[in-house]
Amino acid sequence: MTPERLRRFEDNRRRLFGVAYRMMGEASEAEDVVQDAYLRWERHDSAVSPEAWLTKVVVNLCLDRLRSARVRRESYVGPWLPEPVLADGRALDPVETVEQREMLSMGMLVLLERLTPPERAVFVLREAFGHSHREIADVLDAGEPHVRQLYRRAQRNVDLDRTRFPAEPGQHRRLLERFMAATLRGDVPALEDMLAEDVRAWGDGGGKAPAVRHPLAGRDEVLRYLLALARFAGRIRMTPEVVNGETAVVIELDGEMAGVTVIEFGGDRVTAIRSVANPDKLAFLKRQKKI
């Protein structure tokens, strides 16, 4: 491969990873997809538009993998959550706008799991990357009316549980710091005040790390879960980090990364807690922190 062709691929690498990650919800799979796209680019003689050609290759590779991923996730131990990634502008493009950050959020990636692979492709390309229906039709080798139909169906499914009034970034961080402090203290009144009545919590340990095996629903169940964490306060360190476009909590136990927790707020109340402890899903983020 000539230096010029390599440069043209590298110019697209972060965006391609961003497409693959949003479609798969798995950073390790997204890396593999981008590597496969590179190998195809290496063998390809020319392309009128590297961006369009590579996007089409990546999307179609993701579609193939998503079909088999559905089968794997059905037998997954406990709740399945996306792999967390550090995302402050270095790892993924684009994350400049509120809408782009939302498309990267843990909550949105969970919602995307309810879409069919083609619906997910259309929604990601349209919402996160601003592609027109005509451009998406070219990527999928589909008619434009069909793409519009897929987009409407995806919108309808996602909007059922889409968070309408997320906290502003500055407010989110302040609330998160209050919540972390109350959790480590085991401060029951403070936690009761911060938890919404219908708060829910999920834990993804994949059978390889301690985590709740079933979703928790309601203030009482979630409070008991948080108070159990407080027993380890002397061994736990909680650090705010920009994960998936929003401030989250990276948890260290005895000096080793043990999990990432994303807190969703509605106003000033905690409405959702998603914790990833599966060590396989923390591997990518650990590598990011070492760079």
CATH number at residue 139: 1.20.140.160
Band of pLDDT at residue 48, cut at 50, 70 and 90: low
How does strand 256-266 pair with strand 269-276? antiparallel
User: What is 187-239 written as a DSSP string?
Assistant: -HHHHHHHEEEEEEEEEE-TTTS---SS-EESHHHHHHHHHHHHTTTTTEEEE
Q: How far apart are CA 43 and CA 155, in angstroms?
A: 37
Whether residue 274 has pLDDT greater than 70: yes
Whether 202 and 122 share a structural domain: no
Asked if residue 142 has pLDDT above 70, the reply is yes
156, with CB counted inside 10 A (0-12, 13-18, 19+), is exposed
* Alpha carbons 273 and 262: distance in angstroms, whole number: 6
> What b-and-e string marks burial along 191-216, b requiring 16 or more CB atoms within 10 Å of the CB?
beebbbeebbbbbbbbeebebbeeeb
Q: Is residue 164 part of a domain?
A: no
Q: How confident is the model at residue 30 (pLDDT cuts 50, 70, 90)?
A: very high
Residues 75 and 103 in one domain: yes
Range of the domain at 253: 169-290
174 and 284, same domain (yes or no):
yes
Predicted confidence at residue 4, as pLDDT, reads 83
Over 60: is that where the pLDDT of 88 sits? no
Q: Is the pLDDT of residue 154 over 80?
A: yes
Last residue of a domain, one of 134, 159, 184: 159
Flag the least confident range among 55-59, 99-103, 255-259: 99-103
Kindly state the average pLDDT of the residues 75-104. 78
Q: What is the pTM of this model?
A: 0.92
Residue 245: pLDDT above 90? no
Count of C-beta atoms within a 10 Å radius of residue 288: 17
The pLDDT, as a whole number, for residue 144 is: 98
165 pLDDT more than 60: no
Whether the predicted pLDDT of 231 surpasses 90: no
Say which residue, 161 or 79, is predicted with more confidence. 79
How many CB atoms are located within 10 Å of the residue 268 CB?
A: 13
Give the chain's length. 291
CB 222, CB 273: distance < 8 Å: yes
Q: What is the pLDDT of residue 119?
A: 98
CA dist., res. 149 & res. 142, Å (int)? 11
Question: Is the model's pLDDT at 224 over the cut of 60?
Answer: yes
Q: What is the pLDDT of residue 212?
A: 86
Do 140 and 11 lie in a common domain? Answer: yes
pLDDT of 162 reads 77
> Mean pLDDT across the chain, nearest whole number?
90
259 strand-pairing partners:
251
Average pLDDT over residues 26-38: 95
Query: Can you tell me the mean pLDDT for 131-158?
Result: 97
Average pLDDT over residues 82-110: 78
Q: Is residue 113 part of a domain?
A: yes
Tokens standing for residue 246: 């929003």
149 and 189 assigned to the same domain: no
Would the pLDDT of 97 be above 80? Answer: no
Asked whether residue 41 falls in the same domain as residue 89, the answer is yes
pLDDT on residue 290: 81
- What is d(CA 227, CA 101) in angstroms, rounded to the nearest whole number? 31
Q: For residue 246, what is the enclosing H or E element?
A: strand 246-253
60 within some domain: yes
- How far is residue 156 from each of residues 144, 149, 184, 193, 245, measured CA to CA in Å? 18, 11, 39, 33, 23
Over 90: is that where the pLDDT of 270 sits? yes
DSSP code of 168? P
Reported as a pLDDT band with limits 50, 70 and 90, residue 47 is low
Domain identity same for 138 and 250: no
Contact present, 38 and 9 (Cβ < 8 Å): yes
Structural domain ending residue among the three candidates 122, 141, 159: 159
Label residue 213 by pLDDT band (50, 70, 90): confident
151 and 218 fall within a common domain: no
| Range from 73-77, 196-200, 221-225 carrying the lowest mean pLDDT | 73-77
- pLDDT of residue 291 exceeding 60, the answer is no
Domain assignment of residue 61, yes or no:
yes
Q: Total domain count for the chain?
A: 2
Residues 28-32: what's their mean pLDDT? 95
Residues 122 and 149 in one domain: yes
Sign of CA dihedral 172, 254, 277, 34: positive
Domain boundary among 102, 124, 159: 159
